[in-house]
Amino acid sequence: MLAEVLQRRLVFVTGKGGVGKTAVTLALALAAARSRRRVLVVEVNPHGRVGEYFGGVTLGPEPSEVAPGVSVASIVPAIIMEEFALRILRIRALARRLLESQTFRVVAAAAPGIEDFLTLVRIAGWEDARSGLQRRRHRFDLVLVDAPATGHSVPLLATPGTLLKMLPFGPLAGTARALALLLSDPGRTAIAVVTRAEEMAVNETLELAAAIMRLGVPLLPPIVNAVTPLRFSREEIRRLLAEPPDVPASLHLHAAAGRFSAARQRTAERETRRLGHALATASVRLPFVPARRFALPAIEQLADALEHARIRRQRVGGAA
């Protein structure tokens, strides 16, 4: 999984709310930074937790480094709207008056996807940003977007196509066309979907994956987060689930807890196999990390797991 991410310049990370999407995004960022990539994490959700995981850092509209090789920034709707108005009017005072007018607010609210469109424009700008005297080197090797949860990710990614249907000509159409090319380029862009080994989460993941594939945006193998370690072999599960449980009498008091854990283990394995079968690809499993307060040390453990998975794949299949 890490190898596939490192081959791109822009990766959106999304998934059902509560599956650990932000934690996985930051784990990918830390693992990529260990591979000497300069990484930018972009937070789209105004109520996101990227800053919290980095010890209470306040994210701003411009990238700031929070760890070696890792910078963070947030999309601020008011700022991207002001920049949009400034590009139209060229004079900041007039742009602000336009933004404050009731007429503009009504038009902006009625225009479908204008905020999403400007969000993608800002992200694409960071993906293509250059540095150095001759501007030959990209400022960031990888841009990771902590994208909105499932319900909003598809409309966000569909914005260029939607706008082109409405405005096939003009300057906005040119920008939308460039965004559409960026999102559909498998060498530059991909989507990583995070899920849990639970029926509802897998169902939503499959629906999201189908919608993304219809948009033509490259999809990476799904990431199954918070996978608990296997506690029982198949034979032990069979004995626990027998009626009555096939365990010594001294363990009967503990059999109920064992049966519950065994049932969860079977469900997790079934749902993970179903996900892989439906998408015709092996899922990436990240371990459950117990922590009283989920913060940077826990995310470091997820980054370790991503690196170990990459090493295992190199040994088995020679993957880069």
How many Cα atoms within 13 Å fall on the side-chain side of residue 304?
A: 9
For the segment 244-301, what is each residue's pLDDT rounded down to a tens digit? Answer: 888 888 887 788 888 888 888 889 999 999 999 999 999 999 999 988 788 899 999 9
Helix (H) or strand (E) holding 195: strand 189-195
Summarize pLDDT for 119-156 with one digit per residue, the tens: 999 999 999 998 876 677 899 999 999 998 888 899 99
pLDDT value for 319: 46
Cβ-count burial 135-145 (b if 16+ within 10 Å, e if not) = eeebbbbbbbb
Q: Give me the count of residues in the chain.
A: 320
DSSP H helices, the chain, are: 2-6, 21-34, 50-53, 77-89, 92-100, 102-110, 114-128, 150-166, 171-184, 199-215, 234-241, 252-279, 296-317
* Residue 101, pLDDT score: 61
Residue among 155, 277, 291 at smallest CA distance from 214: 155
Cβ(182)–Cβ(10) below 8 Å: yes
By CB neighbour count within 10 A (0-12 exposed, 13-18 middle, 19+ buried), where does 127 fall?
A: buried
pTM for this predicted structure: 0.87
Q: DSSP assignment, residue 219?
A: B
Q: Which domains does the chain have, with CATH numbers?
A: 2-230+282-317 (3.40.50.300)
Of 180, 194, 184, residue with least CA distance to 217 = 184
Distance CA 115, CA 124 (A): 14
Give the separation between CA 155 and CA 99, rounded to whole angstroms: 24
Give the residue ranges of the chain where pLDDT is below 70: 81-112, 133-134, 310-320
Q: Which of 59, 166, 58 is nearest to 117 (CA)?
A: 166
